[in-house]
Amino acid sequence: MKEISFEKAFEALEKTVEELESGGFSLDTALKKYEEGIKMARLCQAKLDKAKAKIETLMKNKDGEFETKPIAQD
């Protein structure tokens, strides 16, 4: 299965939300769309978490030299 990009997942999530807000679906269809939206939201969050973990900040060490360190995880 090909991995979907954050941008494509976010676009799919926006489309699903718009569709659900417009209404007019049967309960079964609305539930399927809701599940799809949850899946895309989780995928987006996972990609954001992964990107956050890669971000590094530049800090001075005890010798006054700059070095990179991972950002603190909450």
Q: Assess contact for 54 and 68: CB atoms under 8 A.
A: no
Q: Assess contact for 58 and 34: CB atoms under 8 A.
A: no
Average pLDDT of the residues in 14-28: 94
Token pair belonging to 24: 């007019």
Instruction: Name the strand (E) or helix (H) holding 27.
Output: helix 27-54
On the question of pLDDT at 34 being above 80, the answer is yes
Query: What was the pLDDT predicted at 10?
Result: 96
Higher pLDDT, 17 or 72: 17
Is this structure's pTM higher than 0.75? Answer: no
Confidence of residue 71 (pLDDT cuts 50, 70, 90): low
Q: How far is CA 18 from CA 2, 35, 37, in A?
A: 25, 14, 10
Higher pLDDT, 36 or 50: 36
CA distance 38 to 36: 5
